[in-house]
């Protein structure tokens, strides 16, 4: 049997590298631990319940209302997140307000467009048109909405799917783009 000293420094360096490498990688292969709730709460700036956010137009009338049973804001984020939120965008020409619901709505303090995520639904009062998408950006001042995720537009007797949309909420016009497809059921007499 050969004496270990015969292999010299290369063998010693390889053995030391394996030992140090296995020590460093041991944490990499361990299962991830759940983040304790106290840790999440320590990052929260505040939490509110039964919150209503109202933005007024130039004439001082409520132009946009956002209501949620719960809201939260984290220190690292600039936006207030409203959870399970309902919203109403008033109509200037009294033809019916735009109503909607989203799992999460992020409201920033600089009057930037609202980012709505989750199961977002947007519909106009007195019309049978409903727009559904996983993410919708809504600018209440400009009265427009847009999204770059799959959108479903439903009206009595028809369903239209597209990859992107842009809606002019003032004119009640929706423009669809990207793989637009639909199904229509003709009216029966």
Q: Which domain holds residue 86?
A: 37-184
Q: How many whole angstroms separate alpha carbon 102 and alpha carbon 7?
A: 68
CATH number for position 132: 2.60.450.10
Contact, 107 vs 141, CB < 8 A?
no
Q: Is residue 158 part of a domain?
A: yes
Tell me whether residue 9 is in a domain.
no
pTM: 0.65
User: Residue by residue, what is the 3-state secondary structure of 8-61?
Assistant: HHHHHHHHHHHHHHHHHHCCCCCCCCCCCHHHHHHHEEEEEEEEEEEEECCCCC
Is residue 80 domain-resident? Answer: yes
Neighbours of 176 (CB within 10 A): 19
In a domain, 110, yes or no: yes
21 assigned to some structural domain: no
Would 15 be classed as within a structural domain? Answer: no
Provide the number of structural domains found in the chain.
1
Confirm whether 160 is domain-assigned.
yes
In-domain check, residue 19: no
Task: Kindly give, in sequence order, each residue whose CB lies less than 8 Å from that of residue 118, ignoring residues fewer than 6 positions away.
Answer: 102, 103, 104, 134
pLDDT per residue, tens digit, the chain (189 aa), is 555 556 666 766 767 766 676 666 665 555 555 545 555 455 556 677 888 878 776 777 777 788 888 887 766 567 778 889 898 887 666 567 788 899 988 877 677 788 888 889 988 887 788 888 999 888 877 788 888 888 888 888 888 888 888 888 777 778 888 887 778 776 665
Tokens 């999440």 sit at which residue?
A: 40
Q: How many CA atoms lie within 13 A of 69 on its CB side?
A: 4
């Amino acid at each position: 049997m050969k004496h270990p000293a015969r292999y010299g420094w290369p063998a010693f360096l390889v053995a030391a590298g394996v030992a140090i490498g296995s020590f460093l990688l041991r944490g990499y292969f361990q299962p991830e631990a759940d983040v304790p709730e106290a840790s999440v709460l320590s990052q929260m700036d505040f939490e509110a319940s039964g919150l209503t956010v109202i933005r007024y137009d130039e004439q001082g009338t409520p132009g946009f209302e956002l209501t949620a049973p719960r809201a939260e804001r984290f220190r690292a984020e600039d936006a207030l997140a409203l959870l399970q939120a309902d919203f109403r965008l008033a109509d200037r020409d009294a033809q019916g307000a735009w109503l909607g619901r989203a799992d999460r709505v992020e409201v920033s303090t600089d009057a930037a467009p609202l980012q709505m995520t989750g199961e977002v639904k947007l519909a106009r009062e007195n019309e049978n048109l409903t727009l559904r998408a996983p993410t919708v950006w809504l600018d209440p001042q400009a009265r427009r909405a847009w999204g770059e995720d799959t959108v479903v537009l439903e009206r009595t007797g028809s369903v239209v799917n597209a990859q992107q949309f842009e809606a002019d909420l003032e004119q009640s016009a929706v423009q669809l783009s990207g793989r637009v497809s639909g199904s229509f059921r003709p009216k029966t007499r």
